[in-house]
Amino acid sequence: MTTNNGQGFAGASNDANGDSRVDKAKDAVTSAANTTADAAKKHPAAAAAIGVAAVAAVAGAAYGATKLREKAAAKPKTTKPKAAPKPKAAAKPKAAAKPRAPAKPRAAAKPRAPAAAKPAS
């Protein structure tokens, strides 16, 4: 329960003009309600269609919630024990490597001549 502290509801802060957030919210809701009522007076068929759609949405949500509750109630409460994990199959042995052909003999490397010394500049 909230109490009135003389400046609006308890905990409602005031802005620079002294208006509380609650007062601003009340004004916004009142303005929206007045605008909606005026629009409904100008376009009654559209207002009726919106009302029917809203009622249908609520009814659909209630129906879905009922079905979910019935489905949950139909499930048994007991839990089945989990099955033991299956043992892994033994790894297949790898195929033996094919024998390689013998390497061809390489030609002997030619000896290199020593690098000539560069003259100092």
pLDDT tens readout for residues 12-68:
555 556 668 888 889 999 998 888 888 889 998 988 998 899 999 999 999 999 998
For residue 69, the enclosing domain spans 44-75
Euclidean distance between CA atoms 59 and 71, whole angstroms: 18
- Do 48 and 70 share a domain, yes or no? yes
Euclidean distance between CA atoms 94 and 37, whole angstroms: 82
- Do 60 and 48 share a domain, yes or no? yes
Residue 24, domain member (yes or no): yes
End-to-end, the C-alpha distance of the chain in Å comes to 100
Residue 29's identity, in one-letter code, is V
Listed in sequence order, the DSSP H helices in the chain are 21-42, 44-74
Residue 117, domain member (yes or no): no
Answer whether residue 76 shows pLDDT above 70: no
- Do 30 and 48 share a domain, yes or no? no
Euclidean distance between CA atoms 30 and 23, whole angstroms: 11
Helix (H, G, I), strand (E, B) or coil at 74: helix
- Do 37 and 53 share a domain, yes or no? no
DSSP sequence for 55-73: HHHHHHHHHHHHHHHHHHH
Q: How many domains does the chain have?
A: 2
Q: Which helix (H) or strand (E) holds 4?
A: none
- Give per-residue pLDDT as tens, 83-99: 777 777 777 777 777 77
Residue 1, domain member (yes or no): no
Q: What is the pTM of this model?
A: 0.34
